[in-house]
Chains A and B, each alone.
Chain A
Amino acid sequence: MTSETAATTPEEIGETAPGQDQSDVFRGVSSDSLVRRGRTESGISARSVPAFVAGEELADLAETDSRIVVMTADLASANRLIDFQLRHPDRFFNMGIAEKNMISAGAGLASTGLMPFVGTFASFASLLGYEQIRTDCAYPGMPVRVLAHHSGMSLGYYGSSHHALEDLAAMRAVADLTVACAADGNQLRAMLRASLDLKGALYLRLGRGRDPEVYATVPEDFEFGRASTLREGSDATVIATGSQVHAALAAAELLLERGLSVRVVDMHTIKPLDVAAVVAAATETAAVITVEEHNIIGGLGSAVAEVLADHRLAVPFLRHGVNDEYVLIGPPAALYEHYRLDAPGVLDVVEEFCRMRRDEV
């Protein structure tokens, strides 16, 4: 964790001009293709790191773990699983644009003792493949790892057909399924390593492959179900997941200068949720705000709200995310700004909520 490297606007985290910043979707973002950016006006350096490291990491892991096989649905370049294919062609299957078959076949592979990692756009993995994830992966307890990339609104102007703003809600309701969101490439590596010892099926939600760095190194202490507190604070806790962890950290940094001390919790595992971390936030800090690139219905915010209600914790609480709507057409950077899911946006949301409370008191 290095809040010093947080960026304040998406343009500073490796974006090109709006309107052109989706040109690399199907080419993918390889390890050597990203330019690391310099410092921003606020003095916070912005560093983009490759986030689609699954192909590379799994290829390394497969050197010593013969269970690993990888599948994709005609997106090997976009998700860089091609990096695995090049090194282990006999353990890689491109299933074509047939996501349902891919996920079910992954379950069949798993039943023979293998551990398939199946990657496709989150919208298709979660919604088109929902029943296959439930019935063929989770219900029989198959160790299938679904790599659901380009989640949320990260496919920008491709539009709502390609957005996944419902996937956490859908996945969270499936029994015996672990649901987690990677904040950056280093955390993804940690998750992939930890997944080798995880029982049952896993839905792993990834961003767009050019996410800003949250973890300077691979977090060695990563554990599914145990949230990471990245920054201490007392005026509020921001519980964020996936793409919003970086935004939350950057916002917290700037809020300190404005007199607000904000705890930031990376709730990387949506299920099983780290209940203790939520209870601690509600009892040790003055407010709880969830931030997610997801509909505010059913995702992280709902999961946290359930804990607060179950534990009778009356704490000022706000869910920040997409307010149950299909988002506008636009490049990702513009959308994050519009929906206040970038650092300045999260900053405003948190500050408004904290000040509103103070005024009311």
Chain B
Amino acid sequence: MGYLDDGDRRQLVEKALFVRLETLRLTRIAGAGHYSGTFSAAELLATLYYHELRLDPANPKWPDRDRFILSKGHAAIGLYPILAELGYFDASELETYTRLGSAFGDHPDMRKVRGIDFSSGSLGHGLSIGVGMALGGRVQSKDFRVFVMVGDAELNEGQIWEAAMSAGHFKLESLICIVDRNQLGIDGRTEDIMSVEPIEARFASFGWDVQRINGHDVDEIACAFDNTKNSSRHQPHVIIADTVKGKGVHRMELDLNWHVGNLNPEDYEEVYAELIGGGTK
């Protein structure tokens, strides 16, 4: 039982595994990578791209497409493989990841990578970009929607709240903010560094429709996305997705050392096997 039918659920779980395995592979090319903040977002990215977004990979600039802004740009390593698999570019191009002259850096560049709707990397900007895109859709009477994924520690950035205030003011119902609530910043737990809770109350007070879900449960994610479509209230939507940083790999879960890291060859095989075997539950 669940929100999705079994086939859809199985596909999304497989795609989330694909994101994690590709992250392992690309990190090996680069020599270091953002493992844990990508693993926390794997189900969210998979459900967005394989279930929710209105896209045409053959026409990446399609004016009516839904937009996705990865404001936590350091998880791009998990997004590039999805775009390749959907056909935005040839998967073999990923072999150049982070090498001199590559289109693919640690943070995504929309002028270099087909399918990236906006460049990101400097935390705190993406929600404002999304506000602009949603206003752009309104001005042009288009019905596309705009999804922005922010990190939880990113909520420390003041510009997030400028954007939240304006989205509430303009009642941007086409804007959906996803908070990857993976508990950790770089130096430690968000609540020890600079607390971000209560996230629901904070967004609600800015005029947002708020949902809080398990961000590793594809049924809950898909349901939350549908709820934003079915809402009759003219409000921007935030989905606070409770996740585990490093999800799927025991040694990485909620361990600060894997925000950026590099597995040695033996550990790589072990982690690969762990993920293939179903990962941590």
Interface size class of A (residues with CB under 8 A): 20 to 34
Which of B136, B163, B165, B170 has a CB less than 8 Å from the CB of A114? B136
Contact indicator B136/A109 (Cβ below 8 Å): yes
Q: Which of B111, B122, B133, B166 contacts A101 (CB 8 A)?
A: B166
What total of A-B pairs shows CB separation below 8 Å?
A: 99
- In the complex, whether B248 has a CB less than 8 A from a CB of chain A is no
Interface string of B93-135 (1 = CB under 8 A from A): 0000000000000000111000001110110010011111111
- Give 29 A-B contacts (CB < 8 Å), ordered by A residue: A90-B139, A93-B170, A98-B166, A100-B159, A101-B128, A101-B162, A104-B125, A104-B128, A105-B128, A108-B128, A108-B130, A109-B132, A109-B139, A110-B136, A111-B67, A111-B117, A111-B129, A112-B63, A112-B142, A113-B63, A114-B140, A132-B128, A135-B121, A135-B122, A135-B125, A139-B109, A140-B111, A140-B119, A141-B111
Q: Given A91-B139, A95-B166, A101-B166, are A107 and B132 also a contact pair (CB < 8 Å)? A: yes
Of the candidates A93, A96, A104, A140, the one whose C-beta lies within 8 Å of that of B110 is: A140
Distance between B10 CB and nearest chain A CB, rounded to angstroms: 35
Q: How far is the CB of A137 from chain B (nearest CB, A)?
A: 11
Given the interface pairs A135-B121, A140-B111, the reply to whether A110 lies near B132 with Cβ below 8 Å is: yes
How many whole Å from B191's CB to the nearest CB in chain A? 26
Tell yes or no: A83 within 8 A of B by CB: no
Which single residue of chain A is at the shortest CB-CB distance from B132? A108
CA gap between A114 and B130 in the complex, in Å = 14
- Report if B137 contacts A (CB, 8 A): yes
Chain B interface, >50% SS class: helix
Question: Would A69 and B139 count as touching, CB distance under 8 A?
Answer: yes
User: What's the nearest-Cβ distance from chain B to residue A74, in Å?
Assistant: 12
Cβ contact within 8 Å between A112 and B133: yes
Nearest 7 CB-CB pairs, A to B? A108-B132, A112-B136, A104-B128, A105-B132, A101-B162, A98-B162, A108-B129
For residue A253, CB closer than 8 A to chain B, the reply is: no
- Tell me the complex Cα distance, A109–B129, Å: 8
In the complex, the answer to whether A113 meets B132 with C-beta atoms within 8 Å is: no
B122 with A105: CB separation less than 8 A = no
Q: Which residues of B contact A98 (CB under 8 A)?
A: 162, 165-166
Question: Per-position contact with B for A99-137: 1 when CB-CB < 8 Å, else 0?
Answer: 011001111111111101000000000000001100110
